[in-house]
């Protein structure tokens, strides 16, 4: 694996109290961004999901309504208890064969080569060890499997990237560990994924979470 130079600062994990507040404010905070395009983006991306699907860091479950009929099994992982409670509530309104699992993306409790589609929306910015998470995703995917993702990443504009570096600390503390300056596409490639992605703007959200990348990665 090719090492990627990190611009990230070490951090203390967010407190349990703040994570509970995050779970409560997540949907209202995202409302404008969802209405201004993210909801459509989720629907289009997830129409490509098939077979056995694993969603990492599912949060409050904003993706649930967009999964197509015909997926055989949906496993949603989420390490934060307050988020899992919201997931469970949202799931009561859906009828997929679904399992909610307390797990981080760095340690997926699934056998090798057992999954057709992994879904990561706005998660690889937040995991503590993204390289380990990507290796886990590669491990659980079948050889012809796919990672579908929507992630905000480090900006290519020098000015915006400098703002992201400057604001990384305060944003991370506010946003439950999210690193606004993480070069996720480069990490995917360094971990051996072939990536096909388009760039977009997350309207309705602060500029430091631009650009968004939306796409599909295969091993």
Which residues of the chain form contacts with ligand SAM (CB under 6 A)?
56-59, 62-63, 78-80, 83, 104-106, 121-123, 126-128
Which one, 56 or 187, has the nearer CB to ligand SAM? 56
Provide, rounded to whole angstroms, the least separation between the CB of residue 158 and ligand SAM.
26
Q: Name the minimum Å distance from CB 126 to ligand SAM.
A: 4
Q: Min. distance of Cβ 56 from ligand SAM in angstroms?
A: 5
Nearer to ligand SAM, 13 or 162 (CB): 13
CA dihedral 26, 175, 13, 140 (to 10 degrees): 70
Q: Which is nearer to ligand SAM, 47 or 162 (CB)?
A: 47
Q: Which is nearer to ligand SAM, 128 or 165 (CB)?
A: 128
Q: Write out the DSSP string of 151-197.
A: EE---SSHHHHHHHHHHHHHHHHHTTT--TT--HHHHHHHTT-EEEE
Output the smallest distance, CB 54 to ligand SAM, in A.
11
Which is it for strands 141-152 and 98-101: parallel, antiparallel or unpaired? Answer: unpaired
Contact 55, 76 (CB under 8 A): yes
State how far the Cα of 209 lies from the Cα of 43, in Å rounded to an integer.
Answer: 20
C-alpha 88/C-alpha 213 separation (Å) is 28
**In the complex, what is the shortest distance from the CB of residue 9 to ligand SAM, in angstroms, rounded to a whole number?**
17
Nearer to ligand SAM, 144 or 168 (CB): 168
Rank residues 53 and 80 by Cβ distance to ligand SAM and give the closer one: 80
Least Å distance, CB 57 to ligand SAM, is 3
Q: In this structure, what DSSP letter does residue 5 have?
A: -
* Interatomic CA distance for residues 151 and 214, integer angstroms: 7
**Cα separation values, 202 from 88, 186, 198, Å:** 27, 20, 13
What residue number has its CB nearest to ligand SAM? 59
In whole angstroms, give the CA distance from residue 210 to residue 217: 20
């Amino acid at each position: 694996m090719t090492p990627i130079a990190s611009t990230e600062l070490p951090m203390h994990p967010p407190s349990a109290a703040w994570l509970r507040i995050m779970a409560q404010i997540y949907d209202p905070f995202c409302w404008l961004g969802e209405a201004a395009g993210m909801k459509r983006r989720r629907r289009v991306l997830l129409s490509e999901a098939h077979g056995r699907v694993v969603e990492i860091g599912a949060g409050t479950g904003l993706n649930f309504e967009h999964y197509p009929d015909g997926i055989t099994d949906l496993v949603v992982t989420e390490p934060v208890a307050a988020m899992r409670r919201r997931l469970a509530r949202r799931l009561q309104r859906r009828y997929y064969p679904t399992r909610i699992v307390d797990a981080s993306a760095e340690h997926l409790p699934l056998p090798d080569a057992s999954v057709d589609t992994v879904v990561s929306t706005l998660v690889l910015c937040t995991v503590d060890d993204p390289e380990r998470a990507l290796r886990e995703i590669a491990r659980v995917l079948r050889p012809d499997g796919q990672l579908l993702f929507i992630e905000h990443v480090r900006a290519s504009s020098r000015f915006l990237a400098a703002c992201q570096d400057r604001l990384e600390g305060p944003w991370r503390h506010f946003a439950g560990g999210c690193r606004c300056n993480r070069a996720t596409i480069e990490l995917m490639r360094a971990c051996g994924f072939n990536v096909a992605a388009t760039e977009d703007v997350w309207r309705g959200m602060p500029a430091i979470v631009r650009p968004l990348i939306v796409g599909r990665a295969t091993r």
